[in-house]
Amino acid sequence: MKYQKLGSSDIEVSKIAFGAWGLGGGSVWADMSPDVRSASHLLDIAEETGINYIDTAPVYGTGASEEILGKALQGRRDRFILQTKCSLNWRQGDGNFHYERDGYTVNNCTSAAAVRKDVEESLLRMNTDYIDVIIVHYVCPSWPVSETMASLNELIKEGKIRAVGLSNSQPADLDEYAKYGNIALVQEQYSLIAPLHGQAYFDTCRKHGTTFQVYGALEEGFLTGPEQLARSFKKGDIRARLPWYEKDHKEKLKTFYETLSDLPAKYNCSWAVLFEAWTMTQYDDMNLLIGFRREETIRDTVKCLDIQLTPEDIDRITAAAEPASVETIDK
């Protein structure tokens, strides 16, 4: 495993982070049932492979992911860097309407009081005294950034959190938040077939010395191999909402795989590892967040850090992906 500091903080993390969205289950991950025993086993494998960095959020399963992780981390909390989020809540009337799902109305609120409440509730759900990194899950213009950061900086002084990050934001948001404190990382969607948001963000991250943590690098499985294109998903499942589930985009992605069919054998790796290795070449302070629901996925993913793609193959992969690429994705 390789490690890095998060931005200019003193927090050292594995370059691969354990994404716990799927552990929350619900309609978004219709084929996943929350299970503490399975989560504990996955954390065992994470430790074995050197992964010390976990990402979750209150709304992943409306509390389920955090609660499961809290139980699975008992007795080893100090061996992991734990990252969760604030701003999205399902408290009645606390913020702006964001979405309805699984019988809950989720709001977005970055007021000082809401941010503090979010953190306190996460501490209780995960049965921990502190959270290493809090990410503003969705940047919201309805409350001043100065107010949001004042609350987060107070929580740092109190020892309840150690660092702050942003997600679902724009480069201008990082510029604004950085006026009021250190932003250790931004966590943003970026992939080979939806690269534009990340590409637009890299220069601003570099300016502020901020780590770019990529989510969606494998586009919820669509970049794990051509066999994924034959799968079907229930209505509401995140994978059924992505562009590549539609016929025209699916055909373009099929051609993409055919064009690169020799590369997995050349590098003796899976399709997923090939594209993860490509992703890590795109920014000099990249952290790779991958959703882990199976042991074999963890063991396979860590191999990407040992793959050295040639410049020619990096360019070849990039060019092959262009016809199948989209500008924006709503997850």
**Active site members:** 60
DSSP assignment of 197-218: HHHHHHHHHHHHT-EEEEE-TT
Q: How far is the C-alpha of 123 from the C-alpha of 66, rounded, in Å?
A: 9
- Distance CA(35)–CA(327), nearest Å, equals 36
Residue 220 to residue 245: CA distance in whole angstroms: 11
Tokens of 128: 């921990």
What is the residue whose two structure tokens read 């262009």?
A: 322
Find the helix packing angle between 112-125 and 145-157, rounded to 10°: 40
Distance between CA atoms of residues 154 and 93, nearest Å: 25
d(CA 17, CA 106): 26
Stated as kind and residue range, the H or E segment containing 148 is helix 145-157
Altogether, the residues listed in the chain come to a count of: 331
Owner of token pair 């989560």 = 39
Separation between Cα atoms, residue 116 and residue 209, nearest integer Å = 26
| Sign of the torsion formed by the C-alpha atoms of 198, 199, 204 and 207 | positive
What is the dihedral angle through the alpha carbons of 132, 331, 97, 133, rounded to the nearest 10 degrees?
A: 10
Those residues whose C-beta lies under 8 Å from the C-beta of residue 198, and which sit 6 or more positions away, are: 188, 189, 190, 212, 214, 282, 283
Angle between helices 311-321 and 247-259 (to 10 degrees): 160
Tokens found for residue 315: 């360019």
